[in-house]
Amino acid sequence: MDDNCDVCIVGAGLAGLNALFVASRYLTRDQKVILVDRRPRVGGMWVDTYPYVRLHQPHPMFTAGNIAWTLNRDRSYLADKGEVLDHFTHCLAEITTRITLDERYGWTLESDEETADGVHVTCRDASGDVRVIRTGRLIKAYGFRVMPNDPLELSSTRVHSVSPDHCDVRDGEMSRSDAPVWVIGGGKTAMDTAHAVITRYPGREVNLLAGSGTMFTSRDHFFPDGAQRWWGGTSLSSWAAEVCRRFDGTNEEEMARWFLGYHSISLTPRTRHLMLGVLSEAERKTIAGGLNDVVMDHLVDVVDRAGSTDLVLRSGATTSVQAGSWIVNCTGYLTKGDHPYEPYMSAGGATVSVQTRSATLHFSSYSAYFLTHLMFLGKLRDVPLYELDLQALWRESKQALPFAMFALAQYNLGLIADAVPGKVFAECGLDFNRWYPWHRRMAGTVRFMATHRRERAHLRRSLDTVGERFGVRCGPLQLAQA
């Protein structure tokens, strides 16, 4: 069975909704968009993530295009899972006032083939039947491909192995137990989980197995509240400009020390990785005050021995745990899977792909927003954007990854700014600078427009150096190699 549409978007998460928002700015009411997603509703990773998750950043900048939230809360409020999903539904309702939208949930993409008259998209529907969508344009808004965490497979039969996505740590069997909790991981999920357990069960033994340690962006520093919004804090654009000025493609360890000293917040005695999570000082104090122990190592297994149950760690050390302890898998979500390379633009230009193997900006929501604009403006082929293989760079150098991501974003945004109308940036509600008052936002915009061309050569050298040092794809798109 075949369907026809003007645009097909695969992925109904934040990236997909931003692509849909942009498409609605170019299409008319009589043109049709088909939105495909394997999940049962709009929302992407938020549909199946853990129930106590909250936004990292203030909610107004987590949106599609410039669609305003209807949530009647303070700007600094961190929206919860239900509120985020409600906003996704609201965004769809706003967008469908401009275009005809056909939503296909429970559908998975099987393959796509570009032809002379568009793209043939083969899907499998919720019933398992094969369907073909014939479309003029295809946007694959995969983003970071975040998948739920499963419990860790452990040798021990004396512990409970769970994950936040399948076990609400605030309720159920865990609430009827007083056994110790071991949070495995040092990132934002681990912080959310530790905070939830500590505040839900005061006095309970909670331990953190924190791996190499994580630096978090300080929410108080980048999103100050009250009068500090007018005169204090650091805007993300000014910080990004400073990162790009300092980073040369070889000095990631120096960059990490600089960030740790001036802009970050950390819970652990040592930190090695910066994965762009956000934490406040109040959250840090709550978690630190409730932890019994912090172990800087990685879990290999939990084993039962004659007289004890032990955590077996990567360093070779072991740590005894109480029988009945809860082992909560909060290890990384962004690094799962080994996905094949795919260029961000197809050879014929009718397909855009937003994913980690050919990233063009620091966040997939930004990539979907700007790449879709370039596609509809007919400029996607003409603007020589750099692509960066984030999956490969993560494996080669976790330390270099965040700084290379910001160099990539600064370089490509400069190219995009020279190619698109000003309203493209004006309608980008994702911009974290919108946290600050008008006069501070304008100062950042003026600074960027005045400097982005002269900084271009330095950014290009930095990115080229990253590609050469680590042997990863980092440079202008080469469609002949796709």
pLDDT band for position 1 (cuts 50, 70, 90): low
- Sheet of strand 273-279, all strands in order from the earlier edge strand to the far edge: 264-265, 214-218, 273-279
> In this structure, are 278 and 304 located in the same domain?
yes
Chain length of the chain: 482
Asked if the model's pLDDT at residue 80 lies above 80, the reply is: yes
Please tell me the predicted confidence (pLDDT) of residue 481.
Answer: 43
Of 267, 301, 329, the residue that ends a domain is 329
**Residue 425, domain CATH:** 3.50.50.60
Is 3 a residue whose pLDDT tops 70?
yes
* Rg of the chain (C-alpha set): 23
Backbone angles phi, psi at 304, to 5 degrees: -95, 125
Q: What share of the chain is helix, strand, coil (3-state, %, to 5)?
A: 35, 25, 40
> In the structure, what pLDDT confidence band is assigned to residue 373 with cuts at 50, 70 and 90?
very high
Same domain, 300 and 370: no
Q: Would you say residue 154 lies in a domain?
A: no
In a domain, 155, yes or no: no
Pair (94, 220) in one structural domain? no
For residue range 431-459, list pLDDT tens digits in order: 999 999 988 888 888 888 888 899 999 99
Quick one: which of 16, 7, 6, 4 has its CA closest to 105? 16
In a domain, 417, yes or no: yes
* 131: Cα separation from own chain's centroid: 30
Q: Are 286 and 198 in contact (CB under 8 A)?
A: yes
pLDDT band at residue 460 under the 50/70/90 scheme = very high
Any domain includes 29: yes
Verify that 191 and 263 share a domain, yes or no.
yes
User: What integer is the mean pLDDT of 71-77?
Assistant: 93
The answer to whether 238 and 444 are in contact (CB under 8 A) is: yes
Residues 9 and 42 in one domain: yes
Show the domain range for 72.
Answer: 2-147+340-481
Indicate if 266 and 362 belong to the same structural domain.
Answer: no
- Residue 197 and residue 119 in one domain: no
Mean of per-residue pLDDT scores for the chain: 93
Strand pairing category for 130-141 and 160-162: unpaired
Q: Is pTM, for the whole model, over 0.85?
A: yes
Last residue of one domain, picked from the residues 329, 348, 369: 329
Q: Are residues 174 and 230 located together in one domain of the fold?
A: yes
Q: Which residues contact 280 (CB under 8 A, 6 or more apart)?
A: 218, 219, 220, 265
Number of H helices, E strands in the chain: 15, 20
Whether residues 178 and 92 share a domain: the answer is no
Which pLDDT belongs to residue 480?
52
Count of structural domains within the chain = 2
CA 109/CA 10 separation, integer angstroms: 7
- Based on the fold, state whether residues 285 and 356 are members of the same structural domain: no
Q: DSSP letter string over 90-115?
A: HHHHHHTTTSEEEEEET-EEEEEEEE
Percent of the chain at pLDDT exceeding 70: 98
Residue 97 has pLDDT above 50, yes or no: yes
Question: What pLDDT, on the 0 to 100 scale, is given for residue 334?
Answer: 62
Is residue 47 included in any domain, yes or no? yes
pLDDT at 482: 38
Residues in Cβ contact with 136 at an 8 Å cutoff, skipping those fewer than 6 apart: 5, 6, 7, 118, 119, 350
Span 230-246, average pLDDT: 90
Is 188 domain-assigned?
yes
pLDDT at 345 over 90: yes
392 confidence band (pLDDT: 50, 70, 90) = very high
Q: Per-residue pLDDT tens for 356-369?
A: 999 999 999 999 99
Domain assignment of residue 133, yes or no? yes
pLDDT in tens, 188-210: 999 999 999 999 999 999 999 99
438 φ/ψ sector (left φ>0, alpha ψ -120 to 50, else beta): alpha
**Residue 334 is assigned to a structural domain of this protein:** no
| Residue where one domain finishes, among candidates 270, 305, 329 | 329
In this predicted model, what pLDDT tens digit does every residue of 129-167 receive, in sequence order? 999 999 999 999 999 888 888 999 999 999 999 999 999
- Helix axis angle for 364-377 and 14-24, nearest 10°, is 20
Say yes or no: 113 and 232 in one domain: no
Average pLDDT over residues 240-260: 93
What are the pLDDT digits (tens) for 22-47?
A: 999 999 999 999 999 999 999 999 99
Same domain, 381 and 431: yes
pLDDT digits over 305-319, tens only? 988 999 999 999 999
